[in-house]
Chains A and B, each alone.
Chain A
Amino acid sequence: MNWILVAMIIALCIPIYEAWQDEDIWQKMLAFGSIATKTSIMILVISVLRDDWMIGVVGVLILSVGNAGLMLLAHVLRRLNQL
Chain B
Amino acid sequence: MAELIIITALLPLTALMLVTQTNPYHALVIRGILGAIAALVYALFGAADVALTEALVGTMLSITLYAVAVRSSMSFRLGVLEPGDEVLPEAIATALRQGLQRHHLRLERVGYGSEEALEGAIARQEVHAIFQSSAPATVADAQDRSAQTSAASHPPQLHIRLPRLHSLLQGELSPELAHLKLYES
Which one, B33-41, B121-129, B134-142, is touching chain A?
B33-41
Find chain B residues with CB under 8 A from A43 CB: 39-40, 43-44, 51
Find chain A residues with CB under 8 A from B23 CB: 25
Please judge, given known A-B contacts A2-B3, A55-B46, A76-B71, whether A35 and B37 are in contact too, CB under 8 Å. yes
Q: Is the CB of B10 within 8 A of A32?
A: no
Bound form: Cα–Cα A19–B3 in Å: 22
Q: Is the CB of A65 within 8 A of B36?
A: no
Please judge, given known A-B contacts A65-B60, A66-B60, A68-B60, whether A25 and B37 are in contact too, CB under 8 Å. no
Any A CB within 8 A of the CB of B25:
yes
Interface string of A18-52 (1 = CB under 8 A from B): 01100101001101100110011011001100001
Any B CB within 8 A of the CB of A77:
yes
How many residues in B have their beta carbons less than 8 Å from beta carbons of A?
A: 40
Any A CB within 8 A of the CB of B7:
yes
Find chain A residues with CB under 8 A from B182 CB: none
Find chain A residues with CB under 8 A from B13 CB: 16
Which one, B61-69, B85-93, B145-153, B170-178, is touching chain A?
B61-69
Q: Is the CB of B43 within 8 A of A35?
A: no
Q: Is the CB of A31 within 8 A of B71?
A: no
Q: Which residue of B lies closest to A56 (CB)?
A: B48
List which B55-111 residues lie within 8 A (CB) of chain A.
Answer: 55-56, 59-61, 63-64, 67-68, 71, 75, 106, 108
If A62-B39, A70-B32 are given as contacts, then 17 extra A-B residue pairs at C-beta distance below 8 Å, sorted by A number, are A5-B3, A16-B13, A25-B23, A32-B32, A32-B36, A35-B33, A43-B40, A43-B51, A46-B43, A58-B43, A62-B52, A62-B55, A65-B56, A68-B60, A73-B28, A76-B68, A77-B25
